[in-house]
């Protein structure tokens, strides 16, 4: 198929490259000239396992091209909108990128000679948003939805860090379509993928499935984070409790890992957006309000755990912060717990020295004046305490190293990647989130 993908970010580029590798001709369109140039030279503009290799293949074979120009839309059978949907200040979803993409698509559709191109939204948008684009598309193209072009919503469930793998092995495919014809075109687009459960539904239900999924996952992590506080105080280990829970097939072991608070480009903005959407119609989503609240508290607790371990305030103390990305395997720092944690440490007067193997350039855009170390060792050198925020494998270092480098070998491990027995025998004062025993 000929496919245009609007937005060459994490979702658009991975989807575009995946679809191209299945034999489709894909044109990625992005307003960011730098990203377009990167893609055309087969270089991913962000860190994502396997994406450079995939781009090398599909760009080399001319199956994927990138451009700022929307003209490919006029000969595409499917046009996928994959632009960002950030939060507005009140938490509601900002559809301005989606709306401007729809207007540009509509203009290009005016000259389409194809029988029934389908415009589908892959960006995460609250129920009703995709349908609200129809008047824009009709106005700009002079054509009629359902007659001259189709519409749909195909939510994306990829995880950063394993996005390429997730594209080729999804758990399920959800297709919300305006009508049967739009649905069949979108089904055809997925035909090269392995057979997985397919949910064919309305546009609004597809939109809601994405929010329900992310809100539930955020709730699950929020739950285990709260549990971790109880375990710390009551003398047990949260991982053992989570394992015992997760073996129940009704619960499942996934997303039961306590940490410094969840983050990333989606959970926070999506939970806030669906909360705002519900409030706008007079509902009170108490559970999700609490999930947001509890997550803010979890991030703030990291500074408290450092204080407890040091037995004093943080003013003037050098704290080595290891990890800035919201999770390992990505350089994405959008809504990373490290942001709130570093702010909290700074507000308590600590000298937080930051290190991340991949995410420092992005973090520097948010904290240009913070001190950054060039290596793990540089961050630890002379530090009063160390806080592990991201579960990068390279942070799993032996206790003797903390003892050798730090002024005061005190470590708070929010991800439990260090070996407590090794820390103890090396003489490190070690505190793991969720471990009271
Ligand atoms: N990142 C994820 O893990 C993930 C997973 C599932 C769903 N989503 C959803 O997918 C959407 C995109 O997320 P992302 O992380 O890929 O965002 P991103 O910021 O990485 O990419 C969005 C891209 O769209 C481009 N863009 C903006 N306006 C444009 C326009 N009018 N025309 C062409 N390009 C335009 C931007 O320049 C940017 O490159 C969001 O709604 C997000 O919630 C993201």
Which atom of ligand 1 approaches the CA of 125 most closely?
41
Whether 347 has a pLDDT exceeding 90, the answer reads yes
Where does the pLDDT of residue 101 fall: very low under 50, low under 70, confident under 90, or very high at 90 and above?
very high
> pLDDT at residue 234 above 80?
yes
Query: Once rounded to an integer, what is the mean pLDDT over residues 27-50?
Result: 98
27: part of which helix (H) or strand (E)?
strand 25-29
pLDDT for res 121: 99
Give me the chain's average pLDDT, please. Answer: 98
Tokens encoding 150: 């189709």
Per DSSP, helices labelled H in 311-419 are: 337-347, 360-366, 376-380, 399-405
Q: Tell me which residue has its CA closest to atom 1 in ligand 1.
A: 10
Q: What is the pLDDT of residue 428?
A: 98
How high is the pLDDT of residue 296? 98
Distance 337 CA to ligand 1 centre (A): 21
> For the segment 296-336, what is each residue's pLDDT rounded down to a tens digit?
999 999 999 999 999 999 999 999 999 999 999 999 999 99
Assessment of whether the complete model's pTM goes beyond 0.85 = yes
Tell me, yes or no, if 266 is annotated catalytic: yes
Pocket residue to mutate for ligand 1, from 83, 211, 266, most atoms within 8 A of Cβ: 83
The arithmetic mean of pLDDT across residues 283-296, rounded, is: 98
CA-nearest residue, atom 25 of ligand 1? 7
Domain residue extents for the chain: 2-201, 215-432
- Using one digit for the tens of pLDDT, what is the confidence trace for 180-215? 999 999 999 999 999 999 999 999 999 999 999 999
pLDDT category of residue 383 using cuts at 50, 70 and 90: very high
Which residue puts its alpha carbon closest to atom 11 of ligand 1? Answer: 123
pLDDT at position 11 is 98
Q: What is the pLDDT of residue 94?
A: 98
pLDDT of residue 271: 98
**How many angstroms separate the alpha carbon of residue 98 from the centre of ligand 1?**
9
Distance 81 CA to ligand 1 centre (A): 9
What is the distance in A from the centroid of ligand 1 to the CA of 418? 35
CATH no. of 215-432 = 3.40.50.720
3-state helix, strand and coil shares in percent for the chain, rounded to the nearest 5? 45, 15, 40
Q: Using CA atoms, how far apart are residues 148 and 145, in angstroms rounded to an integer?
A: 6
Q: Candidates 82, 136, 271: which one to mutate for ligand 1, based on the most atoms within 8 Å of Cβ? A: 82
Whole-number Cα distances in Å, 197 to 88, 123, 190, 419 = 34, 21, 12, 40
pLDDT of residue 214: 98
Decide whether 2-201 matches 215-432 in CATH topology.
yes
d(CA 378, CA 358): 16
| pLDDT band for position 48 (cuts 50, 70, 90) | very high
pLDDT at 250 over 90: yes
Banded pLDDT at 341 (limits 50, 70, 90) = very high
What residues contact residue 371 under an 8 Å CB cut-off, 6+ apart? 351, 352, 353, 354
* Under 8 Å between Cβ of 190 and 183: no
Distance 140 CA to ligand 1 centre (A): 23
**Quick one: pLDDT at residue 77?**
98
Residues with CB under 6 A from ligand 1: 6-12, 29-32, 35, 82-85, 97, 100-101, 123-124, 156, 158, 160, 265-266
- Out of 28, 82, 231, 266, the active site residue is 266
Average pLDDT for residues 401-412, to the nearest whole number?
98
**pLDDT score of 401:** 98
CB 255 within 8 A of CB 220: yes
- State residue 100's pLDDT score: 98
What atom in ligand 1 is closest to the CA of residue 29? 33
Nearest CA to ligand 1 atom 27: 83
Q: 349-377 burial, b for 16+ CB within 10 Å, e for fewer?
A: ebbbbbbbbbbbebbeeebeebebbeebe
- Per-residue pLDDT averaged across 97-101, rounded? 98
The length of the chain in residues reads 437
The CATH number assigned to the domain with range 2-201 reads 3.40.50.720
pLDDT at 416: 98
Q: Is pLDDT at 437 greater than 80 in this prediction?
A: no
pLDDT tens-digit map of 125-176: 999 999 999 999 999 999 999 999 999 999 999 999 999 999 999 999 999 9
Q: Which long-range contacts (CB under 8 A, 24 or more apart) does 344-347 make?
A: 344/299, 344/300, 344/302, 344/303, 345/303, 345/306, 345/314, 345/319, 345/321, 345/387, 346/370
**pLDDT of res. 68:** 98
């Amino acid at each position: 198929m000929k496919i245009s993908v609007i937005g060459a970010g994490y979702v658009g580029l991975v989807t575009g490259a995946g679809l191209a590798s299945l034999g489709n001709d894909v044109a990625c369109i992005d307003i960011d000239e730098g990203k377009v140039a990167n893609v055309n030279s087969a270089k991913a503009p962000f860190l994502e396992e396997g994406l450079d290799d995939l781009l090398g293949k599909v760009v080399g074979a001319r199956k994927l091209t990138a451009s700022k120009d929307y003209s490919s839309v006029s000969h595409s059978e499917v046009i996928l909108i994959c632009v960002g949907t950030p939060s507005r200040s009140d938490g509601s979803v900002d559809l301005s990128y989606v709306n401007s993409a729809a207007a540009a698509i509509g203009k290009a559709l005016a000259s389409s000679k194809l029988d029934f191109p389908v415009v589908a939204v892959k960006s995460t948008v609250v129920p009703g948003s995709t349908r609200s684009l129809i008047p824009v598309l009709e106005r700009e193209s002079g054509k009629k939805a359902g007659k001259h072009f189709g519409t749909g919503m195909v939510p994306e469930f990829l995880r950063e860090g394993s996005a390429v793998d997730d594209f080729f092995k999804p758990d399920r495919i959800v297709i919300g379509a305006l009508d049967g014809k739009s649905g069949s075109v979108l089904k055809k687009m997925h035909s090269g993928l392995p057979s997985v459960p397919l949910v064919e539904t309305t546009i609004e239900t597809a939109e809601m499935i994405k929010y329900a999924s992310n809100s539930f996952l955020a709730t699950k992590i929020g739950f285990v984070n709260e549990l971790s506080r109880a375990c710390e105080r009551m003398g047990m280990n949260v991982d053992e409790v989570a394992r015992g829970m997760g073996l129940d097939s009704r619960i499942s072991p996934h997303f039961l890992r306590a940490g410094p608070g969840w983050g990333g480009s989606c959970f926070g903005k999506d939970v806030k957006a669906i909360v705002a959407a519900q409030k706008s119609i007079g509902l009170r989503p108490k559970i999700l309000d609490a999930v947001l609240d509890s997550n803010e508290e979890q991030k703030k607790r990291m500074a408290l755990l450092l204080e407890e371990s040091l037995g004093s305030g943080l003013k003037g103390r050098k704290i080595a912060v290891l990890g800035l990305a919201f999770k390992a395997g990505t350089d994405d720092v959008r809504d990373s717990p490290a942001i709130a944690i570093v702010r909290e440490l700074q507000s308590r007067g600590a000298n937080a020295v930051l290190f991340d193997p991949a995410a420092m350039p992005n973090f520097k855009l948010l904290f240009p004046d913070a001190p950054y170390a060039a290596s793990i060792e540089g961050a630890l050198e002379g530090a009063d305490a160390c806080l592990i925020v991201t579960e990068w494998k390279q942070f799993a270092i032996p206790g003797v190293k903390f003892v050798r480098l730090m002024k005061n070998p005190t470590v708070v491990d929010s991800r439990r990647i260090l070996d407590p027995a090794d820390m103890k025998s090396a003489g490190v004062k070690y505190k793991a989130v969720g471990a009271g025993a």
